[in-house]
Amino acid sequence: SFDKESCRFIPDNEQPQLFDRGKGVYTGQNGYCFLTEEDIAAGKTQYTQGRTVIYAIAQGKDAGTQQNELSGWAHNFAIPLELWLSDDGTQVLREPIKEIESLYGETVYEYEGAGKNAEQINSEISALRGDMLRIDAEFTLAPLQEAYESGFYVRYNPVETILGTEHTKIVFGSDGVYVDRKLSTLWDYVKKDPGYTWDNKAKSFGVTILLDRSMLEVYVNGVMSFTTRIYPKYGNSDYLRLFDENGGMNVTKLTIRRMKGAFTENPEPAYYGNVGDLA
């Protein structure tokens, strides 16, 4: 809040709050307020009556000569977000701007109902592959033990070898909500540091996951986001799976869409050099 008499902002919290928990990937934020043509036609005259949008850089923080050579431009542009304040003024609500709907491609999976467990969903999406996807999900948890975790594997590789495998884990569990990158890649020179954990042990979640090659953006319950980068080594690390370890996960809504390119509808396939698939 702002004290007009002292001309000072009064913090809502003693400690600053993180807007994004991807650990330093989401940087260089800029924002603006504006009126759309529809707003003006409706008679609105104040910017506060319009939209508030923020955009930022998603850093490629895993430096290394080999990676720089293969990855090209190091940083990406994160999806712009539209912002609101919660009714009590204590939280910044956010969601990807509606304009990205123009990039929607084919809807490859859609379910809404009383609920399916992770095993049922996995049997239905077992052949689904992609590194440019939007995933929207609603689910509840009914933990079976004190320690539990449920969630999503993205850039998942179904092959297990003596070298290991690849996947990135989006976790909702007894330790909170976080993105686990420990197995994101088998490249030994790429850092796999975890992001920050959101200490939220709620049992009901609405989640949007945006996957765009090395970009991973996760939005949870409209109040928290995780922006990170992942660099799988192998071309077949492009499956999607759910996991449930004592979480009692019940998925009531799941929509998976392919995303088109912003500049060309069908971008060139990702380049994996002469590595190929994990086998």
How confident is residue 275, by pLDDT bands cut at 50, 70 and 90? confident
Task: Please tell me the predicted confidence (pLDDT) of residue 49.
Answer: 85
| 131, 157 Cβ separation under 8 angstroms | no
Task: Please tell me the predicted confidence (pLDDT) of residue 124.
Answer: 99
| 240, 132 Cβ separation under 8 angstroms | no
The tokens of 209 are what?
A: 């996951």
- HSE at residue 18, side-chain half, CA atoms within 13 A, is 17
Question: pLDDT tens for residues 59-97?
Answer: 876 644 455 555 555 688 899 999 999 988 888 999 999
| 117, 249 Cβ separation under 8 angstroms | yes
- HSE at residue 177, side-chain half, CA atoms within 13 A, is 23
Assign domain 103-259 to a CATH class.
Answer: mainly beta
Question: pLDDT tens for residues 161-187?
Answer: 998 999 999 999 999 999 999 999 998
| 103, 257 Cβ separation under 8 angstroms | no
Rounded CA separation 272/268 (Å): 12
Query: Edge-to-edge strands of the sheet including 168-173?
Result: 176-180, 168-173, 149-156, 239-245
Question: pLDDT tens for residues 27-47?
Answer: 999 999 988 888 899 999 888
Query: Edge-to-edge strands of the sheet including 250-259?
Result: 104-116, 250-259, 132-140, 204-212, 215-220, 224-229
DSSP letter for 39, please: H
Task: Please tell me the predicted confidence (pLDDT) of residue 271.
Answer: 80
Q: What values do phi and psi take at 100, rounded to 5? A: -70, -10
Does this model's pTM top 0.85? My answer is yes
Domain ranges of the chain: 103-259
Rounded CA separation 228/214 (Å): 8
Q: What values do phi and psi take at 95, rounded to 5? A: -155, 155
Question: pLDDT tens for residues 198-227?
Answer: 999 999 999 999 999 999 999 999 999 999
